[in-house]
Amino acid sequence: MAPCPVCREKFSALSRKFKVDEQCEEKLCAFIVKSCPCKTSFKLSEHREHVAKCEAHKEFRDAAAKAVEEAKRREEERKKSAAVAAATSTQNSTNRGGSGTNVSYACPLCEDGFRHTFTSVEGFTRHVITEHGTSRSSAVCPICAAMPWGRPDYVCQNIVAHVSLRHRFAYEDFTANVEEEERDFQHALDMSAAIELGNESPIATSSDDDEEGEEEEEDSVTFYARVRSF
């Protein structure tokens, strides 16, 4: 006889206190299920016996255990990568907003003790694609973490694909540093002050504007004359 689903004791031992629902028991014994990976149909009351000897269910359990171990391993790698990226970001924090010549990038995919460090985006990208091109590991991108808008705790699900797609070029080649911005800003202020003081002539005088207007009128008259001739 089936045990109690709560206390797991045999109903025969509790027959004095409880009355067995024979109709419900018959339904459970007659209920056919097909929930095993082997796609075999069996009675619900025979589920334990079937699972104990089913090879497909054993393979399914082993695969699930491997998936759990892989998830734990990736989480450990993510934590290590985040720690390395945070250390690199702290080291490079003084260089944020500058030219970036003193910024270093530590490879998050190299093993501890053999971790390569690069001072250029090109060198880091070349190393990741060449040495870790087949890797699908998740890690924190040290280039993004070193940016002023970067997040040292953001993990890329595929660091190799991220580096090959996003960092084929150096951001320093397309963004101005603080010194250049200050110099351009000061130059704009000097030009504005010079124009207000009258030290520089306007771009176009009123006579030049009149001549340009007359030329535009002549061009329009010539155009309409040509249209009428057709």
Average pLDDT per consecutive 10 residues, the chain (230 residues; last block may be shorter):
70 60 78 80 82 85 86 76 60 46 77 73 87 86 81 84 82 62 80 69 49 56 51
In terms of residues, how long is the chain?
Answer: 230
Q: How much is the pLDDT for 202? A: 45
Within 96-179, strands assigned E span 105-106, 117-118
Closest by CA position to 163, among listed 131, 116, 126, 118? 126
Distance CA 173, CA 177 (A): 10
Distance CA 101, CA 62 (A): 50
Q: How much is the pLDDT for 227? A: 46
How is residue 16 written in tokens? Answer: 């004095």
Q: How much is the pLDDT for 206? A: 47
Q: How much is the pLDDT for 97? A: 43
Report in angstroms the alpha-carbon separations of 198 from 126, 131, 194, 195, 215: 54, 62, 6, 5, 29
| Residue with tokens 């104990």, as numbered in its chain | 52
CA angle 202, 205, 211 (to 5 degrees): 150
SS3 97: coil
| Residue with tokens 């450990």, as numbered in its chain | 76
